[in-house]
Structure 1
Amino acid sequence: MSELLYKANPSVWRSHPFGALIAWMLVLLGVVIAVTDAIPFLPEPTQPVQLPEEFQIRWLGYGLLLIGCFQLLRWWLTTLMDQLEIYERELVWTHGLLSKEYTEINMTSVRTVRIEQSLFQRIVGAGNLQIFTAGDAPELTIRGLPRPQEIRQHIKRYSAGDD
């Protein structure tokens, strides 16, 4: 194999920016509720609220903490499963955690590289990448990769045959 030019995994923050923020907020709120046994920022009720004796606000905190951690862990495992490597002559996309799926694309067969960036992705330096070889459907679609312009430059440079 030729020299490695680029290697990256999508990141949770770049792939799911608002979802990751909400998940972290759920984790934080869950910890606060579980530790203090009270919901912050709620005004005290004017009349006493009758709750069953076995009900504890703490369990709401544990639930929020569990939901936030589970979502972040799920997204983190998905980013570990995917990896893009760009070499001088080929592009290798690896997908999978226990069982692996490899997609190798020869640089000379790349016809079009499409990069889509939302405003937030532009701010954090990420983008979604689509690579077309033949036909109208993309051969490869990857969300949330860091430095997408660098990827495009490497592919453009080596798909044209310039060394």
Structure 2
Amino acid sequence: MPENEETLYVASPSMFRNHPIGFALSVILCPAVIGIVIFVIWYLRARSTELTVTNLRTRLHQGWLSRSITEVWHRDIRNVQLTQTFAQRVLGTGRIGISSSGQAGIEIDVSGLRDPDDIKKLIDKYRAAAKK
């Protein structure tokens, strides 16, 4: 991490807010072993995904046993996408997609983050500052 880098935001996807029906079904199925298995796998996947926004870059870290890390420097960001279904808007979650000038597609894509508007505004603020 560069000396002048400051962490501004760190979060993992929300389980309930992102998929409330799936969450309720897994809780209902907990008396049966299948519900516990679904819930534990889902929990581990959600907790092993982390989006970090600093004043210099945005980083997506996925996985515990195996891992994938994708970073996009704010000076290179070409596009920030925010997508929300009706249910996600009501529950305050959404999907953030980030692409850079060096790639054709979306490099960072994570769904289920709380307050995606605030995340997008934060990225846009430091993206504009990096281009000055």
TM-score tier, shorter chain, comes to: 0.7 to 0.9
Q: Could you tell me how far apart the structure 2 residues matched to 1:116 and 1:17 are?
A: 17
The count of aligned residue pairs is 127
Q: CA deviation at 1:92?
A: 1.2
The match for 1:101 is 68
Q: Could you tell me how far apart the structure 2 residues matched to 1:136 and 1:116 are?
A: 19
- TM-score norm. by structure 2 comes to 0.88
Q: Could you tell me how far apart the structure 1 residues matched to 2:108 and 2:13 are?
A: 14
Q: Could you tell me how far apart the structure 2 residues matched to 1:91 and 1:161 are?
A: 14
Q: Say if 1:23 and 1:69, in contact at 8 Å, map to a contact too.
A: yes
Is residue 2:122 matched to residue 1:160?
Answer: no
Q: CA deviation at 1:15?
A: 3.0
Q: CA deviation at 1:148?
A: 0.5
Q: Could you tell me how far apart the structure 2 residues matched to 1:159 and 1:24 are?
A: 41
Is residue 2:11 matched to residue 1:8?
Answer: yes
- TM-score norm. by structure 1 comes to 0.72
Residue of 106, 117, 130 corresponding to 1:149: 117
Structure 2, unaligned stretches of length 5 or more?
A: none
1:133-148 map, 5 Å? 133-134=100-101, 135-148=103-116
Residue of 71, 81, 84 corresponding to 2:38: 71
Q: Could you tell me how far apart the structure 2 residues matched to 1:16 and 1:95 are?
A: 19
What stretches of structure 1 move > 3 A for 4+ residues in a row? none
The CA RMSD measured in Å over matched residues stands at 1.6
Amino acid at match of 2:61: T
Amino acid at match of 2:20: P
Q: Say if 2:26 and 2:38, in contact at 8 Å, map to a contact too.
A: yes
Q: Answer with 1 or 2: which has the greater Rg.
A: 1
Q: CA deviation at 1:14?
A: 2.7
Amino acid at match of 2:7: L
Q: CA deviation at 1:111?
A: 1.0
Q: Say if 1:80 and 1:97, in contact at 8 Å, map to a contact too.
A: no
Q: Secondary structure at the match of 2:129?
A: coil
Q: Could you tell me how far apart the structure 2 residues matched to 1:9 and 1:129 are?
A: 12
Is residue 2:13 matched to residue 1:17?
Answer: no
Q: Deviations over 1:38-84 (max 9, x none)?
A: xxxxxxxxxxxxxxxxxxxxxxxxxxx21111111111000111101
- Greater fraction strand: 2
Amino acid at match of 2:6: E
